[in-house]
Structure 1
């Protein structure tokens, strides 16, 4: 496969996944901001969300306050923000259009229809219950895109690069979401039991893991078990362990003469999660562990670009 084609497929999937993950993070932040709390606590939550996505400095340049409505507009509709949902869906559509002949007509139409519908959304649609409905729509369109790709695309290199982009992006996003939310919801910041339960359950809902948590642990929600589920549980679709295992397996399928070191690093990372223990993670420090993981995922992304795609400049 031509590196240019692989590059478009890889980034098409990454941008669709990124739009979904941003919607998930904004949704959980929006829900938490509705809890009774001080104004400065709400602003801190939204500032932390921007920081975890690496957008805090860019947002400061806008001069807007860290209020829910302002941050949501920046993260949803601001076309000058390259990581806003509208920018991600536009980039996904542009990448899909560049390789339209490689995609099935059903997949192209799904991605194109998502972008057409996205252009009609306005700031007024994010008010009240509209925000939650919009975030659900973004997640649904992302699910639909993946479902159509699985149901209509051949299991060839095109599909492998699409899935590679999806799982690499998902691993990075889950780690970032887990990091910022554990900082916000840490034991030292506990309030009352009801609020604490709502906050942890909102985090699990944000990664579609609430029902899975109940099935696996059949117990009250505790920080250590949430971390174990989202970091080390291989059967959890959005866990770090599952995502890195998928990345490693996909790299083996598209391997070339230059990718041996990339495969080794991906396999090493997947193995460390497969055989890791949550006690060791907390002994190192969850923030330090997740920061190191994000750096390793970033390194894998750069290596994949150099080995298979159009090298980053």
Structure 2
């Protein structure tokens, strides 16, 4: 496969996953915002969301206030925001157009339909009262695209790059989401275990479709810090966890190594990171510091992307 085609497939999947992640963040913001304000702790969950995705400077340059209306538009329809949902669908469509011969007709039709449906909704029908409706629309569109990929694509190197792109973005998002909940929304350790803390964890789990998984894994709906760390960071059976995502990345790097019959630094690094995640415990992460752990993890994901980029997209090593 040409390096450019591989890169297009990778970024197509990343942008689709990013669109999904963006609306899930919006859902967290909305759910948390309906909590009664006790005047204790961090109340601007909308600012926290912008901060978590690294777009605070861009947002401030265009808006005077961190309120729901401004942030919804910025994250959903602002064409000047590279990570807005409309831009994610547009960039995904452009990447797959360039790599058109590497995907099935069904995949091409799925992204086209999603792009035009979302564009029409934004231009003609959206208002802030419909946030939950549009969140459901984007989730459904993304799930349709994913399902079409799984059910129609040949399981070759192209499929590997598609899958790697998905899990790179998912690992990045899950880490940022945990961080915005724990490090930003709660002002100090005094609030851990409070009613607000429990509510926020519940909304976070619902937003990433892991609410029922938590109950199955631990037999309770009472949230504890250590169980949340275990489920969303270390649990290899949870599709949204960091360990699961890195495991999938490692698995498909191994597939590429076998397919091309060439060793890969990217595969070795992914394998090593997966091994570390499998051998750590919630207590070890707590002792190290959750925020510091997540920051380090995101840096390792960035390093892993550099290896991928050099090996498969630039042919440097």
- TM-score where L is the length of structure 1: 0.93
Question: For 1:67 and 1:167, how far apart are their aligned partners in 2?
Answer: 31
Structure 2 residue 253 is the aligned partner of structure 1 residue 251: yes
Question: For 1:190 and 1:126, how far apart are their aligned partners in 2?
Answer: 35
Unaligned 5+ residue runs, structure 1?
Answer: none
List structure 1 segments (4+ residues) > 4 angstroms apart after TM superposition. Answer: 38-43, 256-259
- Report matched runs for 1:85-104 at 5 Å: 85-104=85-104
1:286 is matched with: 290
**Partner residue of 2:225 out of 211, 223, 226:** 223
Question: For 1:261 and 1:97, how far apart are their aligned partners in 2?
Answer: 30
Question: For 1:83 and 1:223, how far apart are their aligned partners in 2?
Answer: 30
SS in 2 for 1:254: helix
Shift of 1:188: 2.5
Shift of 1:64: 2.6
Shift of 1:305: 1.2
Question: For 2:111 and 2:250, how far apart are their aligned partners in 1?
Answer: 27
- Report matched runs for 1:236-247 at 5 Å: 236-247=238-249
Q: 2:193–2:224: 8 Å Cα contact kept in structure 1?
A: no
Question: For 1:14 and 1:244, how far apart are their aligned partners in 2?
Answer: 15
Q: 1:43–1:67: 8 Å Cα contact kept in structure 2?
A: no
Which segment is superposed worse, 235-244 or 260-269?
Answer: 260-269
- CA distances 1:38-69 after superposition (whole Å, capped 9, x unpaired): 79977632222111111011111113300011
Question: For 2:179 and 2:137, how far apart are their aligned partners in 1?
Answer: 25
Question: For 1:106 and 1:27, how far apart are their aligned partners in 2?
Answer: 29
Structure 2 residue 269 is the aligned partner of structure 1 residue 265: yes
Q: 1:7–1:310: 8 Å Cα contact kept in structure 2?
A: no
Q: 2:264–2:311: 8 Å Cα contact kept in structure 1?
A: no
Question: For 1:2 and 1:40, how far apart are their aligned partners in 2?
Answer: 55
- CA distances 1:281-306 after superposition (whole Å, capped 9, x unpaired): 01000000000000111111122111
- Report matched runs for 1:17-32 at 5 Å: 17-32=17-32
Cα distance, 1:85–1:40 mapped onto 2, change above 3 Å: farther
1:60 is matched with: 60
Aligned residues: 310
Shift of 1:136: 1.3
**Partner residue of 2:191 out of 189, 192, 215:** 189
Which segment is superposed worse, 30-39 or 54-63?
Answer: 30-39
Shift of 1:223: 2.0
SS in 1 for 2:101: coil
Question: For 1:215 and 1:190, how far apart are their aligned partners in 2?
Answer: 23
Question: For 2:25 and 2:38, how far apart are their aligned partners in 1?
Answer: 21
Q: 2:191–2:197: 8 Å Cα contact kept in structure 1?
A: no
2:79 is matched with: 79
1:201 is matched with: 202
Question: For 2:249 and 2:284, how far apart are their aligned partners in 1?
Answer: 23
Shift of 1:180: 0.8
Shift of 1:260: 2.7
Unaligned 5+ residue runs, structure 2?
Answer: none
